Chain A
Amino acid sequence: MFNNLKTVTILYRLSTDNKIFYYNMTVEFSMQLLSVKGLRVAADSKVILKGVNLEVGSGEVHVLFGPNGSGKSTLLKTLMGLPPYRVLAGKIIFNDVDIKDLPPNERATMGIALAFQNPPSIPIKLDYFARRVAMKFNSNLELLKELNLDGLLPRRLHKGYSGGESKRAELALALLQKPKLLMLDEPDSGVDVDSLKDVAKAINNAMSKGTAILLVTHFGHIAELLRKVDRAHVMLDGEIVYTGGLEDVLGNLKRKGYSFFRKAR
């Protein structure tokens, strides 16, 4: 049994015809929004995630650090159910449901959204696509204005976008899904200072509405602009090897680099 499961005993008092019955019911439910346990994942024949454990509670903000190729993006894409990643072992429990075998669209409908690091170019205009997403999730298109996307609306999605444009569009589309868990894959890479502030502001807004966040970053620029970070994790070679506070992780990372965590492993 997972340690994030809570057992609650409910005592019912039923009365009929002057007789009183007591009925004892025990319910187990998860305190976590997302619980990843022993997750092993491969792409083709290469094993990338080698037993990842991670728990994210509702409304919590988690930042995942790691060098290139450590498996951070693979983890997010696996949680979203994207190809070519194949789960070899472990569980992905979201809102008390094992979603390991569900297609990406069902995970999205359940409340998981991913802002891609390198989204593909799609032959659909942003304007049309954003309206379709908003219609599906009954959300408000005002978000597009907040992220300064008006100028991109007539353009095809991610076709010739700059780094900042791409990150802002991804964040807006993910937020239009009104997710319970927002996953952000390097929202600060290749982004100018102004776009970074816009992105951080939108994430902080989502946070204040109770959205849980799992953010992947190399350097932590974006993490320093967030209103709160509950946990910071470090991933090395397909495993989360360190979990602590943001200041702790970022401080060690800035001073000693990833070798510190390698030694601490």
Chain B
Amino acid sequence: MEELAFETSKTAATYTCVDESTIKLMIQNYTRKLGIVVLDIKEALEKYPWAEKYFWRLLDRKTDEYVKKAAEKEIGAFVYVPPGVKLKFPLQTCFFVSKQRIEQAVHNVMIVGDNSEVVLNTACAAAAGESIHIGVTEIYVGKGAKLTYAMVHGWNQLFDTRPRTAVHVDEGGTFIMNYVNLKPVRSLQAAPQIFLEGNSSAYISSTMLASKESFLDLGNIVELGGEGAKAEVISRAVAKDEARVIMRGLLRASAPRVKGHLECMGLQLSSKARVEAIPALDAAVGNVELTHEAAVGKIAEEELAYLMARGFDEREAVSMIVRGFVDTGLDYLPPSVRGQITIVLNMLAKMAVA
């Protein structure tokens, strides 16, 4: 858990869930004074009845068997940021599974008020196999608000996970999501849905290292639903051993003058690893600009030989190519998050040749 957690000393508030209970809440005084709320969802509903209108609005509690489980258990993080707050330090949520044969089914709700600006770091990890993590998350980004959502996952090779995420970005809002999966996982299936209102933007980057016998099926569904909305969705998958990755992506334009770009790139490091890229575009109206790019392949012998001629052994050369491959440019991230993600991606490149 520790290796995946973001730096806590500069955290504005932290929510921690271990197995099936919320075990720790930490909120700095200055965070509280700004009117920010970080609570377990049950407590939040008791304390702030108005919060209920945000529950199960973006996702139907009967969406699938996994969402149903989270709806029954009703534990998870509630985060509220009032309008006009620009938070210097990040908020943090951590989900950790320590026991075998349990279902960690959480429901998280996050509301970022109009014109606010916050960073939410989420670290998820499992120390035990034969368990499942179900993370149902509803996120509201207010008008002109900006949320940077950085997630780092480190599961277990006998572990399953089913995140279910829905995001609503109001007019002029910005949603930035950076997802990294580092460790083997028996199965991971997720397809976050993001709805963009007029002139709002989404920058979504997913980077996956799939190793051993992992099976990852990950996609992002972005609906450009308001005039002038724009989205950039970039996915990078590195598969080794006998891992299999399906990278999906769908950009749907349902309003005029929207722009979207979707990119799915896969790198296979072994003969048994497989990456499948399935990008899709859907333009329901005219006057839109949707593009996609997809490529899957292995490291070219020529690239490897070039790096070896510069003095690097084969392992170092592969690691460097992987590091370059997952470098999608982090310029849109706030500097603090950029630094953390850079460290995580360096770690990923080393793990790719471990």
Interface string of A54-94 (1 = CB under 8 A from B): 00000000000000000000000000111100000000000
Task: Please indicate the chain A residues that have their CB under 8 angstroms from the CB of B321 in the complex.
Answer: 122-124
Of B100-108, B165-173, B273-281, B309-317, which binds chain A? Answer: B309-317
A129 and B309 alpha carbons, distance in the complex (Å): 13
**Chain A, interface residues (CB within 8 Å), range:** 20 to 34
B305 and A104 within 8 A (CB): yes
Query: Which of B302, B309, B323, B325 is close to A104, meaning CB atoms less than 8 Å apart?
Result: B309
Interface positions, chain B 305-346, Cβ under 8 Å from A, are 305-314, 320-321, 323-325, 327
A105 and B306 within 8 A (CB): no
A105 and B303 within 8 A (CB): no
Query: Which of B306, B314, B324 is close to A119, meaning CB atoms less than 8 Å apart?
Result: B306
B300 CB–A CB distance under 8 Å: yes
B324 and A82 within 8 A (CB): no
A129 and B320 within 8 A (CB): yes
A50 CB–B CB distance under 8 Å: no
What's the minimum C-beta distance from B304 to chain A, rounded to whole angstroms? 9
Q: Which residue on chain A has the smallest CB distance to residue B312?
A: A105
B305 and A133 within 8 A (CB): no
What's the minimum C-beta distance from A182 to chain B, rounded to whole angstroms? 13
Q: Which residue on chain A has the smallest CB distance to residue B326?
A: A123
Of A10-18, A108-116, A222-230, A250-258, which binds chain B? Answer: A108-116
Q: Which residue on chain A has the smallest CB distance to residue B304?
A: A83
Q: Which residue on chain A has the smallest CB distance to residue B267?
A: A123
On whether A136 and B312 interact (CB within 8 A), knowing A122-B321, A129-B320, the answer reads yes
A183 and B305 alpha carbons, distance in the complex (Å): 16
What's the minimum C-beta distance from A159 to chain B, rounded to whole angstroms? 10
Interface string of A107-147 (1 = CB under 8 A from B): 11100011010011011110011001100110000000000
A217 CB–B CB distance under 8 Å: no
A132 and B321 alpha carbons, distance in the complex (Å): 13
Q: Which residue on chain B has the smallest CB distance to residue A123?
A: B324
A156 CB–B CB distance under 8 Å: yes
Task: Please indicate the chain A residues that have their CB under 8 angstroms from the CB of B305 in the complex.
Answer: 82-83, 104
**Chain B, interface residues (CB within 8 Å), range:** 20 to 34
On whether A177 and B311 interact (CB within 8 A), knowing A116-B306, A119-B306, the answer reads yes
A171 CB–B CB distance under 8 Å: no
A171 and B203 alpha carbons, distance in the complex (Å): 38
A103 and B308 within 8 A (CB): yes
A156 and B309 within 8 A (CB): no
A123 and B310 within 8 A (CB): no
A120 and B307 alpha carbons, distance in the complex (Å): 10
Query: Which of A104, A129, A137 is close to B308, meaning CB atoms less than 8 Å apart?
Result: A104
Task: Please indicate the chain A residues that have their CB under 8 angstroms from the CB of B307 in the complex.
Answer: 122
B301 CB–A CB distance under 8 Å: yes
B309 and A114 within 8 A (CB): yes
What's the minimum C-beta distance from B236 to chain A, rounded to whole angstroms? 10
A156 and B313 within 8 A (CB): no
Task: Please indicate the chain A residues that have their CB under 8 angstroms from the CB of B309 in the complex.
Answer: 80-82, 104-105, 107-108, 113-114, 116
What's the minimum C-beta distance from B219 to chain A, rounded to whole angstroms? 23
Query: Which of B302, B311, B314, B320 is close to A124, meaning CB atoms less than 8 Å apart?
Result: B320
A124 and B308 within 8 A (CB): no
What's the minimum C-beta distance from B327 to chain A, rounded to whole angstroms? 7
On whether A133 and B306 interact (CB within 8 A), knowing A122-B321, A124-B323, A125-B324, the answer reads no
Most buried by A among B310, B324, B325: B310
A114 and B308 alpha carbons, distance in the complex (Å): 11
Query: Which of B308, B311, B325, B327 is close to A133, meaning CB atoms less than 8 Å apart?
Result: B311
B306 and A136 within 8 A (CB): no
Task: Please indicate the chain B residues that have their CB under 8 angstroms from the CB of A81 in the complex.
Answer: 309
Task: Please indicate the chain A residues that have their CB under 8 angstroms from the CB of B306 in the complex.
Answer: 116, 119-120, 122
Task: Please indicate the chain B residues that have their CB under 8 angstroms from the CB of A200 in the complex.
Answer: none
Task: Please indicate the chain B residues that have their CB under 8 angstroms from the CB of A235 in the complex.
Answer: none
A249 CB–B CB distance under 8 Å: no
What's the minimum C-beta distance from B324 to chain A, rounded to whole angstroms? 4
Task: Please indicate the chain A residues that have their CB under 8 angstroms from the CB of B311 in the complex.
Answer: 105, 108-109, 133, 136-137, 177
What's the minimum C-beta distance from B185 to chain A, rounded to whole angstroms? 25
A104 and B307 alpha carbons, distance in the complex (Å): 9
What's the minimum C-beta distance from A50 to chain B, rounded to whole angstroms? 24
Task: Please indicate the chain B residues that have their CB under 8 angstroms from the CB of A216 in the complex.
Answer: none
A136 and B310 alpha carbons, distance in the complex (Å): 9
Most buried by B among A80, A108, A123, A136: A123
A212 and B273 alpha carbons, distance in the complex (Å): 45
A173 CB–B CB distance under 8 Å: yes
A123 and B306 alpha carbons, distance in the complex (Å): 12
A39 and B202 alpha carbons, distance in the complex (Å): 59
A83 and B324 within 8 A (CB): no
A133 and B320 alpha carbons, distance in the complex (Å): 12
Report, nearest first, the 6 A-B pairs whose CB atoms are least far apart.
A123-B324, A124-B324, A108-B311, A104-B308, A104-B309, A105-B308
Given contacts A104-B309, A105-B311, 4 further A-B contacts (CB under 8 A): A105-B309, A109-B311, A119-B306, A136-B311
